Structure 1
C-alpha cells in the first residue's frame, strides 16, 4: 500500500499487527528480546512528547549509533512529530561528526555510548546544540539526559499528521568526491520510495538488517519497507557475527551490497566441498 508519510507506514502496520513482533535484538550472546509494533508506536510517540517537553518540536535532531531499538524509536518519534532527523555515520571521526551536527543546525543529539567521544566535545564544537540524550545512560546528569528516563516521564500518545511535503530527514552524502552534502528529504520522498516498490515479499517476513542504518538503502528498505510489510526486523549487532546471528535469528531475507555478498561467496567457496561454480550459482543465481 502506497504511503505518503512515515507516520502512515507505522500507524497502518500497528493497526494490523499491533501485538506481533516488530524488532528483535540480542541482549546477550544467545538471548533475544523483542518489541511489538504497538510498543514501537507507543515508544516513538513518547519520544515525540520528549521533544515537545524540551521545546524542540520542529527542530533538527541528530542521531548517531549502531542499529538499535532506541535508534528506531528516535527516528520514528522525531519525524512523526513534525521534526527533522539527521542520521549520522557512526564510524566518522568525532570532529567530522561535530561538523555535520553544526552544519545541519541540530539542537538535539541522541547518541549511543559507543560514540561518547562525540558527546564529550559536541557542546563546545556546536554552539546551537542545546540537549544531549544518551541511549544507555540510566539517570540524567549535567552532561546528558537518559533516553529511557525521558520516555518514562513523557508517556502518552502524540497525535500529529505530517504534511507529505514536509521536510523529515537530512541525510549526508559520503563525501567521496568532496565535502559531504546534506540531502533534504520530505515524508513523501522517503515514504513513497519505500512503499511504491513491489518486492514480492510476503508480509511478516523475518528480516535481518546488516547494513549501516544511516544509509538510505538500509533505512528505506530494511526499516521503512520492512515496517510497511509488518516484517520482523532482526538487528545484527556486528558484521563479525553475521553468520552466528543468521543461526540465532533464522532470517528469511537479508539485504546486502554486492561486496558483502561476494565476500560471503568467497568464504563459502573456501569452506565448501562443492565446486566454486556451483557455490556461485547458489549465491548469485547464475
Structure 2
C-alpha cells in the first residue's frame, strides 16, 4: 500500500509525456497529490474548468490506460464532470503546475464497476501526472473601458453581451474596441485561445451566431478569420473586445455557417477566457 507519493518516480521533460515508475502493483487508501513543478497561474477552484495534459497509469498493472499527451491535444473539462480523485488532486493547484495524483478505486471508477474496456478493474488505484495548461475564465474579468463615440453599444443582459447597432455609421475598415481590459496573458499569433463570443450582421442588426450560450470554444489563432487575427493579437486574457469586421477581413463571398451574405460587415463581441502557446 502506498503511503507516500515518493514511492512513485516521475521523469520526462516539461510539456512532454512523462514516464511513471513504481513497484507495481501499487494501491493507495486515500487520494494524494504532489506538485512536481510549480506554476504561477490562476488557482484551480472546485468549480473550475481546466485545460490539461494528462498521463494515466493503472496502479495494478503499471500500464498506461489513457494519455492526452499521446493523442497530441489538451483536454478541457469542468472538474464536476471527472472522477472525484482527479478533482481532489487538482483543486488548489495552479496553471503551470505539473501534478502527481494517486487515487483509490473508490475515487476513480469503482462506482461504475471499473472500466474493463480500458483495463481498469474494480478496486484498481490510478496514477495520473497532470500538466495544468490553463484555467479558463468563465467570462471577461477586468477594468471597464469607455468605448469611442459613434460605435454600436454593448449591454450585458443575463450574463451575455447584447449589441445594439442603432444609427451607428458603418466603418470601412476594421475597428477594434476593448470593452473590458483583462490583466492576463497577451495573445500572440502562435497561441491557442478559448473564447465566448456573439456575432451580429450589420445589415440586419440581428444576432446570427451565439457562442455565449454553451461552453467556451477553443481554437488556434492560425485558423481564425483575418479580422480576429488582426483584432485579437496583443489583447489580454480576461478582456472583452468588440470587433467590427469588414467583408474583406471576414467572409467576402459570404458563408452558410454562420449565415453571412456576400459583402456583410460583422460585429463581434468576444470574451477572451484563456490563451497559451500552441505546442
TM-score range (shorter-chain normalised) is under 0.3
Larger RCO (alpha carbons 8 Å, 6+ apart):
1
Instruction: Point out the structure with max Rg over C-alpha.
Output: 2
Q: How high is the TM-score relative to the length of structure 1?
A: 0.22
Q: Whose strand fraction is larger, Structure 1's or Structure 2's? A: 2
